[in-house]
Amino acid sequence: MINHVGNTFAIQYFDYLNIFVIKSFRSFPTLILLLLLKYEVGKKATNALSKIYGTKYVVGSGADTLYPASGGSEDWAKQTAGIKYVYLLELRPDEKNWDGFILDERQLIPTAAETWAGIRVVADAVIERAHRKNARINGSTIKQEYRFGNGTTGSCYDLRHACKRWVREKESICQTVPIFMREQCAYSCGHC
């Protein structure tokens, strides 16, 4: 069972240390099949989730799909840590299941697989929105061609400002987390 108070307390210190890096926060209580986020992104994410195992999720605000409540980790992330994109995913088992947070071990991998499909949709939407916002200068958009590493133009760049710092702090990070770092930190990891 998840300890939301302990979870929020632990995340609090992590978030304050990384406040300039965090663009999105997700909370994953496992109780019912709901996806709480911007409706159009939620619909795309639930479609991606459903394609994996046919699981049906509900999209909507927490108050509409669950019940009015406050004080969860998503509230803390939004209000206290100031994280702009905060999402809450309520996973298997569904609300009709009598044992609530207890998930049968045979459902762990399927739940993780479909959840990952939904997370990718949400992450892509957050990244796309951030890119659109960053590309707007005086009401017009420009093609983004920059490298966070040294500011020169080119087609190879880091998607995250923290890439250079991550590589400096832990030189092996490009090898220990290769897929993420290749996608997010191509320039700093020397993939171009």
How many Å apart are CA 92 and CA 113, to the nearest integer?
12
Which of the residues 74, 90, 114, 128 is marked catalytic?
90
Q: Which of 26, 23, 57, 30 is nearest to 42 (CA)?
A: 57
Please choose, from the candidates 158, 139, 118, the residue with its C-alpha nearest in 3D space to the C-alpha of residue 36. Answer: 118
Query: Is 90 noted as a catalytic residue in this protein?
Result: yes
Cα gap 25→77, rounded to integer Å: 7
Q: 167 is written with which tokens?
A: 């590589």
How many whole angstroms separate alpha carbon 81 and alpha carbon 61? 20
Active site residues: 90
